[in-house]
Amino acid sequence: MATGGCAPPKQEYDFSVFPYPGELKTFSSNEIAVKVTLGVLVELVALVGNILVITIVLRSRSMRTTTNYYLVNLAVSDLLVGLMPIWVHIVSSLNEFWVFGSFLCKFNPFLQITAMCASMFTLIVLAGDRFYAIMFPMHSRVNKRKVSYLLIAVWLASCAIATPLLFVYTYIERQWADVLETYCDERWPMKMVEDNKCDGGLTSKKAYWIVVCCVLNWTPMVCTTLAYTFIVIKLRKHKIGPKLGASTRSTVQQRSKRKVVIMLFSVLILFIVCAVPFQTIKIYFMFTQGTPGYKLPSWFGTLDFGAILLMYSNAAINPIIYAGFNESFRNGFKDLINTISNRRRPTASDSFESEFKQRSMLRAKNGSIATISGSRGSRAALLEMAGIPSSENLHESGMMRNLSRDSLNDDIMPSETSERVLKNERRTSHFGNGITLQAFEKEESVTKIGTGDLALSSNL
């Protein structure tokens, strides 16, 4: 590519008559072991963790909140990083030449920048959503349909920003007398500069990466950090305390919002810590490239590898943050693992309980009973049929009448709920037809106040 009369020489040289002028790199076994181990570890955690996040949200209706949709979008972008750029970078760092051919020469940087921009834009939209919801709680909220439109716009914008890389990255082969040199290089449009010299595309390259790093990443990082700062200040002014007459529902909402904000702010800080070193090195390298007499220090390659690996590790750490700050994700991880590891054929007692649950739900729709969703309610009803007194029923029947019919706001995650734990012993009761029911007369039960946890009858 050339502009302004600046063009590469048309003459093609025959390099096959000359030996390779460079010095082929050698890699020690320790260097190979360290790089491969770190790369495989980051990639496995990124793949498994983000697949679990996506699966947990999609398989549970109560987890399908607007906040979690944003987190799923982050998980998708992190998953893309784990699928390709990590291992491509590891292999490339252990080879003298580019070994992946023309397609990955173009597609790998395109995918990397698309995922990076998608993550940043998702964090921006998420911060704006939290800021609007907490600073202006009386205004209308962004619903799930609008969230889907926003996320589509995020990916379209990210792909548009990364599209130039499909054209400027070029796979080049050069045959020397003793070796075939292959490399993947950026070929930006060139123009004439001072003294009628060609800039080699450096001006266009600098302009693009400054826009990507500074305008599209660093500036939004500052803005989102300020947004979360104002949110934290707002929540601290309404700090929860033993206020007389404060409702349990309001207390739960405030605590939930605070935990969600802390988690999201941690995700943002992690993204900044992981992305800024790589972007800083990228800009530093561009401005030193072409400087007469300047040579990069010998340790620059190690620093560059560490910065890129740190950027990729963000994809692996995000799922750990979700699980660390939110009990719903922790429980989802446990349930999913148990479901996979404990797959078994349904027994007679399972079939009986399932059938009874369906009948109970049908009767609840007709206004005859109040059914507690999930297996706790079915178990309690079965205990009553068997004539077994249940302290759980006594507690919950009084508690249900004191609960508001309104559910918590959609932005609060299901795990951020008030909990009542009663610990006791387990015993077994037998029906006359031989079906065994595990009854929990004084079992450990949790009563949750949250969306989808209680189905109240019309007479409450």
Res 70: pLDDT? 92
What are the boundaries of each domain within the chain?
15-338, 349-455
Low-confidence ranges of the chain (pLDDT < 50): 242, 244-245, 345, 348-349, 368-377, 379, 381-383, 385-460
What is the rounded CA–CA span in Å between residue 227 and residue 129? 10
Res 82: pLDDT? 87
Res 111: pLDDT? 95
Which residue is it, tokens 């560490």? Answer: 306
Report the SS3 class of residue 254. Answer: helix
First vs last C-alpha separation in the chain: 75
Res 251: pLDDT? 67
Token representation of residue 318: 């995000």
Res 455: pLDDT? 32
Q: What's the fold here for domain 15-338?
A: Rhopdopsin 7-helix transmembrane proteins (1.20.1070)
What is the rounded CA–CA span in Å between residue 118 and residue 71? 12
Q: Name the residue among 151, 72, 158, 156 with its Cα closest to residue 110.
A: 158
Res 359: pLDDT? 63
Within 13 Å, how many C-alpha atoms sit on residue 209's CB side?
20
**Rg of the chain, C-alpha, whole Å:** 29
Res 196: pLDDT? 75
DSSP string covering 346-379, please? --HHHHHHHHHHHHHHHHHHTTS--EESSHHHHH
Res 437: pLDDT? 38
Q: Is 245 exposed, middle or buried (0-12, 13-18, 19+ CB in 10 A)?
A: exposed
Q: Is 150 exposed, middle or buried (0-12, 13-18, 19+ CB in 10 A)?
A: buried
